[in-house]
Amino acid sequence: MDKIIVKDLNIDYGGVPALKGVNFSVKDKEILGVIGPANSGKTSFLRALNRLNDLDLACRMKGSILLNGKDINREMDAEEVRKKVTMVFALPIPLPMSIFDNVAYGPRRHGVKDKKKLEEIVEKSLKASFLWEEVKDRLSSSGMKLSGGQQQRLCIARTLAVEPEVILYDEPCSGLDPISTAKVEEAMRELKSRYTQILVTNNVKQAARVGDRVAFFLMGDLVEIDEAQKLFTTPRDKRTNDYLTGRFG
Amino acid sequence: MKLKSQTTQKIAFTLLGLAAVTVIVPVILILVILIQRGWPAISWQFLTEMPRMGMRAGGIFPAIMGTLCLVACAISVALPLGVLTAIYLVEYAKKNWWTRMIEIAIVNLAGVPSVVYGLFGLGLFVIFFHFGSSILAGALTLAIMELPVIITSSKEALMSVPRSFREASLALGVSKWETIRCVVLPNALPGILTGSILGVSRTAGETAPILFTVAAFYLPRLPQSIFDQCMALPYHLYVLSTQVPNVKPALQYGTALVLVGMVFSLNLVAILVRAHIRSKKQW
């Protein structure tokens, strides 16, 4: 079943095209790796999926994106889209509040007031992002005091707490060391059973490690999308092959 | 050649140092003179009693109370208005000519001479709105004077909250207003408060704006409501210095000392708030 269908998506920033007529779909509960060099349109694509591009006044978009068959730009409002399609950013951004409040932030804003319920959500989310064991004794200390890798997993827990359907990762490990990266990747694999995940990454090997399918973007075009296994061993397009073998990028 | 560059450096440092000293000399002189001549006048009676014998004796209690009233009323009008304006300008306003007009107006508001504010207050609040010469009219006039300072410092405080915080919150499906209320405002609050207190402390010592709108030469009793006139420290000081003959100089200096003390303690509060928040700031 297709979770997200992208139809003829064009994005430009003040006349500079970032994405040129992209068509494809994302399956339910898969991890889609998105790779490509800088300026290939990966991040623009990701930010279109939860309408964060709306915040950029210079950004123009054409085409449509369907989530569960509904057009996110015409049939849903931005808050509804972003609640279902949440995002983990490149740099971990804990809000300047306690670990508990960070995770409870989303549910609280969406109307959960019951303390017991909030505690449950926080524990469940932190366990799902593999952070619970490390922070369970200091939930009231600041989220800013955690290490980089822990902060990123805190951000993942924070997105999980709003019970999304799709999680977007924008190069989530670009600032992390290999051990923290491994932990974040482990969290993604664990979450696979419940969520559709899209991982934009500069790290080709990471896409190979966690992606079920991988899409290769270049200069605003979707060059190729295929099973990770196939794309990495027998790419159909020469440009994909050149990128993967390091001829450019 | 090397010696020469060191010599010019020494000359430059000396000049810079002298400039810095020149700046603090007047401050120190004012404080020393005020404390030296005004301190003997300060007593519990001076602070808590009504003036007597045509203001040549007794205390300055009504003037202190009047100034406190004016400051409190002015800030309770200016703070919400200023902060809401700043939120609108920073978070919602589109970058078009209308927004630029508002911003230019605010900058110009800051440059208007205080006596013009006084006349404006007289025309608008005292006469047009029939508030008469009253605390209400005076406080509103002071509030307009405070607005540019409050708006400017609030804007800076709001803009200093990282954009990434806003995006992190919005990406969770939280609405824009909730994001402002729960993430942006709490983090901007210290900056807003500090700027506002500084704005207030500046207007607390103003004479011209209250001259036509509220200040009374002498009142035998305290104001009963915001529609009453009141005495105020800056105007009282002016009266003691120029309008009443044979006033003991200690009384004038004592009044000035109290006024400076009030303004100084307001600034001190602002500095302490800022230092406290900076030590706790996490980003």
pLDDT tens figures, A121-167: 999 999 888 888 888 898 888 888 888 888 988 999 999 999 899 99
* Dihedral-angle region of residue A106 (phi above 0 means left; psi in -120 to 50 means alpha; beta otherwise): alpha
| φ and ψ of A170, to 5 deg | -105, 90
pLDDT band of residue B57 (cuts 50, 70, 90) is confident
Picking from A87, A95, A109, the nearest residue to B178 by CB comes out as A109
> A84, B178: Cβ pair inside 8 Å?
no
pLDDT band (50, 70, 90) for residue B283:
low
Report the pLDDT value the prediction gives residue B223, as an integer from 0 to 100: 83
Cβ–Cβ pairs < 8 A, chains A and B: 69
* Confidence at residue B1, expressed as pLDDT on a 0 to 100 scale: 55
- The residues facing A130 across adjacent strands are none
Structure-token pair, residue A14: 């003040």
Most B CBs within 10 Å: which of A67, A105, A167, as the mutation test of the B interface? A105
The pLDDT of residue B281:
64
pTM of this prediction? 0.81
Name the residue among A52, A96, A144 with its Cβ closest to that of B170: A52
| Contacts A103 to B, Cβ<8 Å | none
Q: Is B153 helix (H, G, I), strand (E, B) or coil?
A: helix
Domains of chain B from N-terminus onward: 62-280 (1.10.3720.10)
What is the spatial distance between Cα A6 and Cα A22, in angstroms, rounded to a whole number? 7
Interface of A with B (CB under 8 A): 50, 52, 55, 57, 79-84, 86-87, 89, 91, 93, 95-96, 105-106, 109-110, 142, 144-145, 155, 158-159, 162
By Cβ distance, the residue of A52, A57, A144 closest to B171 is A52
Q: Are A98 and A140 in contact (CB under 8 A)?
A: yes
How does DSSP assign B26-57, residue by residue? HHHHHHHHHHHHHGGG--HHHHHS-EETTTTE
CB B220 within 8 A of CB B50: yes
Interchain proximity A89–B165, CB inside 8 Å = no
**Is the Cβ pair A95, B282 closer than 8 Å?**
no
Which residues, other chains included, contact A199 with Cβ-Cβ below 8 Å and sequence gap of 6+?
Answer: A31, A32, A33, A34, A169, A172, A188, A206, A207, A210, A211
Among A51-60, B99-108, B112-121, where is mean pLDDT lowest? Answer: A51-60
Whether chain A has a CB inside 8 Å of the CB on B164: the answer is: yes
pLDDT digits (tens, 9 = 90+) for A172-209: 888 788 888 888 898 888 888 889 999 999 888 899 89
Element (H, E) at B278: helix B249-280
Q: Given pLDDT bands bounded at 50, 70 and 90, which one contains residue B177?
A: very high
Tell me the average pLDDT across B250-255. Answer: 88
For residue B27, pLDDT over 80 is answered with yes
**Across B190-197, average pLDDT:** 86
Question: pLDDT tens digit string along A52-108?
Answer: 888 888 888 888 999 998 899 888 888 899 999 999 988 888 888 899 999 999 999
Any idea which residue has 């700043």 for tokens? B86
Q: In what order do the strands lie in the sheet with A70-71?
A: A16-27, A2-13, A59-67, A70-71
Taking 80 as the threshold, does the pLDDT of residue B280 lie above it? no
B276 CA: distance to closest CA in chain A (Å): 16
Least confident piece of the model among A138-152, B183-197, B209-223, B269-283: B269-283
pLDDT of residue B136: 92
Please tell me the distance in Å from B187's CA to the nearest CA on chain A: 8
Instruction: Confirm if B24 and B232 have CB atoms less than 8 A apart.
Output: no
Q: Which residue, among B90, B126, B118, B128, has the nearest Cα to B227 in the 3D structure?
A: B126
Between A148-160 and A99-109, two packed helices, what is the crossing angle to 10 degrees? 20
Domain made up of A28-44+80-244: CATH architecture? 3-Layer(aba) Sandwich (3.40)
Comparing A61-70, A75-84, B5-14, B270-279, which segment has the lowest mean pLDDT?
B270-279
* Per-residue pLDDT at B12: 92
Q: What is the ipTM of this complex?
A: 0.86
Rama region for B223: left / alpha / beta (φ>0; ψ in -120 to 50; rest): beta
State percent of chain B over pLDDT 70. 98
Write down the pLDDT at residue B282: 58
CA distance B133 to B126: 6
